[in-house]
Amino acid sequence: MAYVSIESDDRMEEGPEGLQFQSFLGTDARAASNPTAAGGSSGFETEGAARKSSGFWTVEYYQPYFDVDTKTVLRRCYSTLIPTSRNYLSTHLTPAADLYGPFWTLTTLIFSLFVFSSLASSITAYLSDPAASSPTDPIEYDFSLLSIAVGIVYAYGLGVPVLLWLGLRYLGVGEWSVIEAVAVWGYGQFVWIPVAVLCVIPVPLVRWILCGIAFLISGFFLVANVYPILAAAEAKGVRLIIVILVLIHAGIALCFKVLFFSYYVKQIGIKDPIDAPIPAEPIASLATRFFDM
């Protein structure tokens, strides 16, 4: 039997109805001590709610997409080289896709195209005329080549997946997010990094073979992971988008070969210019002629 004092004259009232409990903890203190009562059962939900409350123009909105460790990024990179990576979204991009790996994959590809194409130019120039050049001569970099690489790689690795996602959203196909689209395209270009290194080999046929292998591996990876999303659409004509994507991918592969690795060793003593291989020349001039066609 419980008694509480309700008046200053020490009169007592019996019964549970006279009991009243009052907490002197604030709302924030209760939320801190009991996350479930505050509406969030874990830190991940709290972080997700904080991100949703932030605008897309803020750093906090994109921070979770860059919260990934190096081991995970490397695993997602070399997994694109395996021909059986058909369920890349559900198998490797779990629990969530990231933007850190695609950004550094594309940036490393730009660096590789610029550095190793410049190195290939120096090697072929020396092999064409060893008397006129020396291995100790400094390499002259053509920095216009860097701007070309930035434009092509970022336009294809970032622009194409964003445009594809917007187009699919317009057509009512919402099987993936724009982050997943950028992640698939970004990681899918990883194969071009080792190919850019190997393309310093001064043998034209080997370079064509390497670029062909990179085109097939990256192309198969993109088709295997994009076509199931297109096939989920009710309109069968949406599947034809894969043909456009393959043509764009083939054009990018050709651009990489022609603009960055079109150096040929000039053979000394060949009189007929028709039968002579194409001499080594700066990539910028090749790029100018390519875009003027």
Of 23-37, 93-107, 138-152, 240-254, which gets the smallest average pLDDT?
A: 23-37
Calculate mean pLDDT across residues 82-97.
76
CB 254 within 8 A of CB 215: no
Q: Choose from 28-37, 78-87, 136-145, 184-193 the range with maximum mean pLDDT.
A: 184-193
Is 34 a residue whose pLDDT tops 80?
no
Higher per-residue pLDDT: 284 or 198: 198
**pLDDT at site 187:** 93
- Tens of pLDDT along 212-234? 999 999 999 999 989 888 888 88
Handedness of CA 216, 219, 222, 226 (dihedral sign): negative
**pLDDT at site 126:** 72
Strand partners, 98: none
**pLDDT at site 142:** 74
Calculate mean pLDDT across residues 237-263.
91
**pLDDT at site 291:** 44
**pLDDT at site 162:** 94
**pLDDT at site 49:** 45
**pLDDT at site 139:** 61
Is 149 a residue whose pLDDT tops 80?
yes
Calculate mean pLDDT across residues 168-194.
89
Q: What is the mean pLDDT of the chain?
A: 74
**pLDDT at site 137:** 59
Higher per-residue pLDDT: 125 or 233: 233
Q: What is the 3-state secondary structure of 198-253? A: HCCCCCHHHHHHHHHHHHHHHHHHHHHHHHHHHHCCCCHHHHHHHHHHHHHHHHHH
Q: Choose from 33-37, 112-116, 264-268, 275-279 the range with maximum mean pLDDT.
A: 112-116
172 confidence band (pLDDT: 50, 70, 90):
confident
- Tens of pLDDT along 38-88? 444 333 344 444 445 556 567 777 778 788 888 988 988 988 888 766 678
CA distance 210 to 149: 19
Alpha-carbon distance values, 58 to 61, 62, 82 (Å): 6, 7, 36
Higher per-residue pLDDT: 213 or 171: 213
